[in-house]
Amino acid sequence: MGQAGCKGLSQSLFDYKTEKYVIAKNKKVGLLYRLLQVSILTYLVVWVFLVKKGYQDTDTSLQSSIVTKVKGVIFTNTSELGERLWDVADYVIPPQGENVFFVVTNLIVTANQRQETCAESESIPDAWCYTDGDCPPGEPVVAGNGVKTGRCVRVGSMQRGTCEVFAWCPVETKPRPVTNVLDTNDRAFLKSCQFGPKNPYCPIFRLGSVVSWTGSNFQEIAVQGGVIGIQIEWDCDLDKAPSECNPHYSFSRLDNTFSENSISSGYNFRFAKYYRDAAGVEFRTLMKAYGIRFDVMVNGKAGKFSLIPTVVNIGSGVALMGAGAFFCDLILIYFIKKSHFYRDKKYEEVRSGHLGNGEVNVDQLQNLQTVDA
C-alpha cells in the first residue's frame, strides 16, 4: 500500500488540470454578466484611472502647526550700532512666535532715516515718471515707501526718473530676491496684481478681502485682534508640465470668537522701538499691539506614473471580473427555475475507465459544453 500510494502521488504530480466551461444559453443571466463586466470596466477606467489616477505613485506631505517661544540675550559691538544688548524683542521676528520664526544673525542697516522728501527707488515701477504729471501729489506709491509730492526727479540727462515722495529718507535699497512665485514675463505683475477670481495664482492678498473670506468683519477683528489661517493646497500631476501645478487657497478664522470675555479670543503681542537722547543714552518704548496674525499652512500631494500601482490596479480589475462570473454562477445554479439542471451540468463526478450511473469516462469528456436553457 505504501509503495502504491507513493507511486500514485508521484504520477499525480504530472497530471494536467483544466477547467470545464459550460455555456448557458440564458439571456437574463447573460445580460446580467455583461452589465457587470461593463460596470466593472467603467469603474476601473473612469474612477480608478481617470479620477483617482491609480496609475500614479502618489506622495503626500505631512501637515503640522506649532507655536514657538525663544528666550535668551545676546551682546554685540558693531561700528553701526555700537555696544548693544539684544533680547527676544529684538532678534526674534516675528516676536509673537508661530510655526515659522526668524532669528536675526545679520543686518543691512539703512541709517539715519528721517521723514522728509526724496526720490523713490528705481526698483518700484509705480514710481517711474517722465513728467511731473505722472506723480499726482498725495497718491501713495504702490509697493513703495511713501506718498508722491508731485515732482518727477531725474538723474543727469535721463528721460525717465522717479517720483519724489514724502517718506523715511533715504529710502531702503536692496536687490530683488529670487522667489518661486508665478512665472511671468511682466516683471511688474507681482507688484500690481491681487489675489482674486481673475488672478487665482497671485500671491498678494488684500487684508480686508482675506478677513471677509473667513466670514468676519474687519472693524470688529481690528479692535481685539485675531488669528486667520491661510490654507494652501497643492495637487500636482507630475506627468504634466510644471506650469500646470497651481495652488488652491482657502481661509478660516482660528481664534475663539464665541465669547467676548474669553482669554483666548483675539490676538496681541509686544515689541519695542529704540531712541537716543541728547546724551547718547539709548532708551526704548515698549508697545502692546493688537492685530491680525496669519498662519500659513501648506499641504498637498504629487503623483507620477509608476508601473507598480498600474499593474496592481489592473490586477484588481481582473479579479473583480472573476467576482462577476462567480455572482452569475450563484444565480444560475441556485436562484432560477432550472437551477438543478445547470448544477448537474456544471458539477460532474469523473472516474477513469467506468461508464453508467451518471459517471463519465474521462477519455470521452468534452472540455466545452453548450447547454440550452
- Termini Cα distance of the chain: 47
Residue 26 is assigned to a structural domain of this protein: yes
Q: Please compute the mean of the pLDDT values over residues 178-201 and round it to a whole number.
A: 66
Quick: pLDDT tens for 24-82: 777 777 788 888 888 888 888 888 888 777 777 676 665 555 556 677 788 878 766 67
Residue 258 has pLDDT above 60, yes or no: no
- Asked which of 169-178, 186-195, 234-243, 250-259 is least confident by mean pLDDT, the reply is 169-178
The domain in which residue 357 lies consists of 16-55+307-372
Residue 333 is assigned to a structural domain of this protein: yes
* Angstrom distance (rounded) from CA 89 to CA 106: 16
Count of structural domains within the chain: 1
Residue 361 is assigned to a structural domain of this protein: yes
Strand partners, 273: 285
pLDDT at 31: 83
Residue 324 is assigned to a structural domain of this protein: yes
pLDDT at 185: 60
Residue 171 is assigned to a structural domain of this protein: no
Burial 44-63, CB ≥16 within 10 A → b, else e: beeebbeeebbbbebeeeee
pLDDT at 17: 64
pLDDT at 368: 43
Place of cell 497718491: 139
Burial (CB count <10 Å: 0-12, 13-18, 19+), residue 118? buried
Helical ranges in the chain per DSSP H = 2-12, 27-42, 88-91, 189-192, 207-213, 218-224, 307-334, 339-346
Residue 39 is assigned to a structural domain of this protein: yes
Residue 327 is assigned to a structural domain of this protein: yes
Q: Please compute the mean of the pLDDT values over residues 189-208 and round it to a whole number.
A: 75
Residue 338 is assigned to a structural domain of this protein: yes
The x, y and z cell numbers of residue 278, run together, are: 541728547
Quick: pLDDT tens for 209-242: 888 888 888 888 887 788 888 888 888 887 777 7
Helix (H) or strand (E) holding 283: strand 282-290
